[in-house]
Structure 1
Amino acid sequence: MSDDELGSHYTDVPGQRVVAAALRAAYAWSVRDVHRNAAMLEIARMTGVVMEAHGPGRGPVTPLELVGVLRASLGSLLAGVRGRPAELADVVLLDHEGRLTENAYDLVCEHVVPLKDVVGSRPWLPSWTTMHSDQIRQQVFTAMIASTKQDEYVASRRFLVEHPAGDEQELVELKDRAGGVRLAKGGYRDVPEDQLYRAPNGKGWWWPCAECRWPMAVASSGKVRCRYRPHSAVFDLVPGDRPVLRRRDGARRSSPPAGRPAEGAKCVDAGVWRFVVVPGASELRIAAAAEHAGAKVLLWPFLDRFDLLVEAGDEKFSVDVKECLSLSSLIERLRRRRPSARILLPRSCEWQLETLQDALPELAVLTETKFLGQVRSAMRKAR
């Protein structure tokens, strides 16, 4: 499906445009030291989008006014705008340092709609601020399905999920050893500076999230954590020429990850991480748990008609894993495109079950916990 066809599935309402414009403006402000002229021009353009949605005499009317509003909750910016997402009312996009908050990366990005008809695309803007999730996934998967071979598709997608970051030469060697891996060109890039720590000797370091393996964000306060909040481990940075992490909560259930040199390191784009790697990590975790119970699992069967086909004794389960923190976006997506398998909410989204069932009572929905319980029960019966 083309980007234009994907885009036509999205209703272009003022609330969606304001959210997309706010995120783009917030990102531009956060990188203004690097892209000064382009960033300020982008903020001015996004101010125009917001003014158009609000109408004459309402809302911020200058770029600096818009930036000031982005430091407060989105509720004030969305007040009086038709189609405003209620779940974003308390979300703040910029912190006191002028950096994007975690909400921007793990929740607000799920509400992005393209604004190409208004302002065009900008090469320095990341994909997750300009395109919706389906477009990003489609771009990534196009290279994977070029051969239409199921084993190559699975190998390619699994490689991307399991290796979203690493030493460039090591990634090349792993890809060659895996065999049959097809990835989009330019899929890996330098680790962003705000996901690095610069030691006194000038050497850079990064740390992979234990759950998704993508570089965690490094705040000036010394807090280190994954930008996807359900990946909840938080660390304190112990600075030095060879920096280490210490768990902020004091728990000993897992050791902090070791620092890795920034020189020669690459990682996937934030959009690929958020919409391919993050859900993929949950899909692989659920598949591994089913296999541990003795079941046979096929990943992304029929070139991703759904996510998992699990054979447990005499029973077969086909499920589509939906890792979407925005419940309203998930409901809209499911109404627009009916799934071809049961919906499975991973552990980070199990809280959505009751509301999702109320909104879409005709769909079969279950949680990761219940699903794995069914698999184990089916395996016990088979024995």
Structure 2
Amino acid sequence: MSESALGQHYTDVPWQRLVAATLRAAYAWSVRDVRGNAAMLEIAKMTGVVMEVHGPGSGPVTPAALVEGLRQPLAGLLGGPRQGPAELADVVLLDKEGNLTENAYDLVCEHVVPLRELAGAQPWLPTWVTMHSDQIRHRVFTAIINTTKQDEYVASRKFLVEHPAGREQELVEQRDRTGGVRLAPGGYRDIPEKQVYRGSDGRGWWWPCPDCKWPMAVSSAGKVRCRYRPHSAVYDLLPEARPKLRRRDDGPRALLPVSQAVEGAKCADAGVWRFVVVPGVSELRIAAAAERANAKVQLWPHRDRYDLLVRAGREKFAVDVKECLSFSSLIDRLRTRPPSARILLPKSFEWQLEPLTEALPGLAVTTETKFLSQVRAAVRKAR
């Protein structure tokens, strides 16, 4: 589906325009201290979008009223017949400190559509508040990975998933050692200040998420966690000369992330992280598990026609991994663009199996657990 077709399909839905506008406004408010007038202008423009969708006499009519609404459940801004999926009703975009909530980064961003008439008006906006996830992925793998060779495509995409952040010099050295990696200049950016802790001496520190290795968010209250909630480890920050973390929750044990100096460090753009790195982590995990079972795995065949082609004994399995927090968004995507392979739901999303098969009874779908059991059985059968 072409980019123009994508834009037309998604922007025709009023509640989706409201979600995109409110998320853009919330992001602008969260960076107003840094972006100044540009951020306030963006909020004003998004107020206009909200007013246009709501119609005369409905909804917030001033930027201040819109910002206040962003601190309340989204149901109030979506409203009446324009109300979107039930999963969005209780979502709040801004916390008490004026920062984006975790829901904004993981759930709401799956509903973002491009507001085409405003595209490019504010180039400082992150991709995930200006484009739909399909467009982000398309631009990443046409602009960042400029190759027609399958092995270079896989090497480049795998590198991005495995190295979403780090010291710039080390990223360059690792890229050169890997070989066949093509990353365009500007593919990595400075780590955002809201993902940095600064000590009394002014030095900045960041921590990679144990799951995706992208910089975790650091709150003013000293809580450190990944902005993608399924990556569930939560930490308390212990201020020292070189700050440390202490596990707050009772989740699975993992090594504590070690603080990294922010000077000279870079990370992938938030949109690239959310829609390329995050699902890529699950894809690589499943591929590694299949290989440990003595199956042969090909990643992203035919330049991402689907995600994994697994050869186990005499059998072949093609799967397309779908990791969507928004169930309604997943359904819409599968109806709009039928998959080229069997759908595979990662472990944290296996609960979606039954409702997905009920909503789309003709869809071939499995879970990570069932799929890997099937692969192991096929390997044993071939012995």
Normalising TM by the smaller chain, what interval? over 0.9
SS in 1 for 2:310: strand
1:114-171 Cα deviation digits (max 9, x unpaired): 1121575311111100101011111110146633111101000000000000000000
Match of 1:35 in 2: 35
Match of 1:75 in 2: 75
Q: CA deviation at 1:371?
A: 0.6
Match of 1:4 in 2: 4
| 4+ aligned runs moved over 4 Å, structure 1 | none
1:279-303 Cα deviation digits (max 9, x unpaired): 0000000000011111110001111
Aligned amino acid, residue 148 of structure 1:
T
Correspondence 1:118-137 to 2 at 5 A:
118=118, 121-137=121-137
Match of 1:222 in 2: 222
Give the Cα–Cα distance (whole angstroms) in 1 for the partners of residues 299 and 252 of structure 2.
33
Give the Cα–Cα distance (whole angstroms) in 1 for the partners of residues 48 and 326 of structure 2.
26
SS in 1 for 2:297: strand
Correspondence 1:159-308 to 2 at 5 A:
159-249=159-249, 253-308=253-308
Unaligned stretches of 5+ residues in structure 2:
none
Match of 1:335 in 2: 335
Aligned amino acid, residue 70 of structure 1:
L
Of the structure 1 ranges 130-139 and 178-187, higher mean CA displacement relative to structure 2 is found in 178-187
- Residues 1:17 and 2:17 are matched in the alignment: yes
- Does the CA-based 8 Å contact 2:145-2:183 persist in structure 1? no
Give the Cα–Cα distance (whole angstroms) in 2 for the partners of residues 135 and 70 of structure 1.
26
Match of 1:141 in 2: 141
Give the Cα–Cα distance (whole angstroms) in 2 for the partners of residues 338 and 252 of structure 1.
36
Give the Cα–Cα distance (whole angstroms) in 2 for the partners of residues 53 and 310 of structure 1.
47
Aligned amino acid, residue 249 of structure 1:
D
Aligned amino acid, residue 198 of structure 2:
R
Q: CA deviation at 1:328?
A: 0.8
- Residues 1:112 and 2:112 are matched in the alignment: yes
Correspondence 1:312-351 to 2 at 5 A:
312-351=312-351
- Residues 1:381 and 2:342 are matched in the alignment: no
- Does the CA-based 8 Å contact 2:307-2:320 persist in structure 1? yes
Q: TM-score normalised to the size of structure 1?
A: 0.97
Aligned amino acid, residue 349 of structure 2:
C
- Does the CA-based 8 Å contact 2:188-2:266 persist in structure 1? yes
SS in 2 for 1:319: strand
- Does the CA-based 8 Å contact 1:54-1:80 persist in structure 2? no
Q: CA deviation at 1:316?
A: 0.9
Of the structure 1 ranges 109-118 and 239-248, higher mean CA displacement relative to structure 2 is found in 109-118
SS in 1 for 2:333: helix
SS in 1 for 2:344: strand
Aligned amino acid, residue 130 of structure 1:
T
- Does the CA-based 8 Å contact 2:144-2:187 persist in structure 1? no
Match of 1:96 in 2: 96
SS in 1 for 2:325: coil
Of the structure 1 ranges 160-169 and 78-87, higher mean CA displacement relative to structure 2 is found in 78-87
Q: CA deviation at 1:5?
A: 3.8
Q: CA deviation at 1:44?
A: 1.1
Give the Cα–Cα distance (whole angstroms) in 1 for the partners of residues 210 and 10 of structure 2.
34
- CA RMSD for the aligned pairs? 1.4
Q: TM-score normalised to the size of structure 2?
A: 0.97
- Does the CA-based 8 Å contact 1:140-1:183 persist in structure 2? no
Aligned amino acid, residue 192 of structure 1:
P
Of the structure 1 ranges 76-85 and 59-68, higher mean CA displacement relative to structure 2 is found in 76-85
Give the Cα–Cα distance (whole angstroms) in 1 for the partners of residues 81 and 28 of structure 2.
23
Give the Cα–Cα distance (whole angstroms) in 1 for the partners of residues 164 and 317 of structure 2.
29
**Alignment CA distance shift 1:186-1:3 (3 Å):** farther
**Alignment CA distance shift 1:303-1:133 (3 Å):** same
- Does the CA-based 8 Å contact 1:163-1:171 persist in structure 2? yes
Unaligned stretches of 5+ residues in structure 1:
none
Q: CA deviation at 1:324?
A: 1.0
Q: CA deviation at 1:71?
A: 0.3
Aligned amino acid, residue 279 of structure 1:
P
**Alignment CA distance shift 1:110-1:251 (3 Å):** closer
Give the Cα–Cα distance (whole angstroms) in 2 for the partners of residues 296 and 81 of structure 1.
50
Match of 2:50 in 1: 50
SS in 2 for 1:16: helix
Give the Cα–Cα distance (whole angstroms) in 2 for the partners of residues 324 and 201 of structure 1.
41
